[in-house]
Each structure stands twice: as C-alpha cells, then as structure tokens.
Amino acid sequence: MSEKYTNAAQQRILRTLLILAEHALDGAAPGEIARQLSTLPSNTTRDLANLRLAGLAEVTPNGRWRIAPRLVELALALQRSLDSAQRRLEETRRRYSHE
C-alpha cells in the first residue's frame, strides 16, 4: 500500500494499542507510553481517550492503562471462528478421504 494513505496520528494510536498489549496485566502509565512513542504526553492522553471511547482500552484504579475486555472478546471470537473453520475443513477431508 502506498505511503500516501498513512497518517502519523493513526499510526501512533495503533502503536499505543500494541504497547498496551505488551502490558496487559499491570497496564502502562501514560508517561511511559509517551516515552516509548517519543511523543508529547498530550498526544498520549488524547490517544488513550480515543481508545477508551472505542472500547479498546481502560484505565486501572492506579491510573495505568491496559487493553479493555472488548479487545480480548474480539480475539476470542476470532479464535472460535478459526476453530469452526478448522472443524469444517477436517469434516470435508474425511468425506473425501478413503481411510
């Protein structure tokens, strides 16, 4: 895909999401995230607010941020879908197999 379709702010928020995934249990402090991304704390605050609004991030009682359950639910739904596809594939193989 062409670089003309990329957007720095969108790339930063996606990288923020990846950082949160690396800190799934204890979460990450906004300052830590800003340092890892080499961005202003205000950018991180805005990005985290947008991720929370989308249901993809949540703030812990101690002020750290982590992946929200919704994102985990999406991953589990994907896993169920892949498992179902695998079962259908295995059933089809058995139908065409001479075993």
The pLDDT score that the predictor gives to residue 99 is 60
Regarding whether 58 and 11 lie in a shared domain, the answer is: yes
Instruction: Note whether 58 and 68 are within 8 A (CB).
Output: yes
Domain that holds residue 42: 1-67
Regarding whether 44 and 7 lie in a shared domain, the answer is: yes
Regarding whether 75 and 59 lie in a shared domain, the answer is: no
Instruction: Report pLDDT digits (tens) over 56-91.
Output: 999 999 999 999 999 889 999 999 999 999 999 999
Q: Mapped to the 3 state alphabet, what secondary structure does the chain carry?
A: CCHHHCCHHHHHHHHHHHHHHHCCCCCECHHHHHHHHCCCHHHHHHHHHHHHHCCCEEECCCCCEEECHHHHHHHHHHHHHHHHHHHHHHHHHHHHCCC
Nearest by Cα to 13 from 33, 27, 28, 35:
33
Regarding whether 33 and 81 lie in a shared domain, the answer is: no
The pLDDT score that the predictor gives to residue 47 is 98
Instruction: Report pLDDT digits (tens) over 43-55.
Output: 999 999 999 999 9
Domain count, the chain: 2
Regarding whether 28 and 76 lie in a shared domain, the answer is: no
The pLDDT score that the predictor gives to residue 15 is 97
Regarding whether 37 and 4 lie in a shared domain, the answer is: yes
- The CATH number of the domain holding residue 20 is 1.10.10.10
Regarding whether 74 and 44 lie in a shared domain, the answer is: no
Mean pLDDT over 4-26 rounds to: 94
Regarding whether 35 and 46 lie in a shared domain, the answer is: yes
The pTM of the whole model exceeds 0.95: no
Regarding whether 83 and 63 lie in a shared domain, the answer is: no
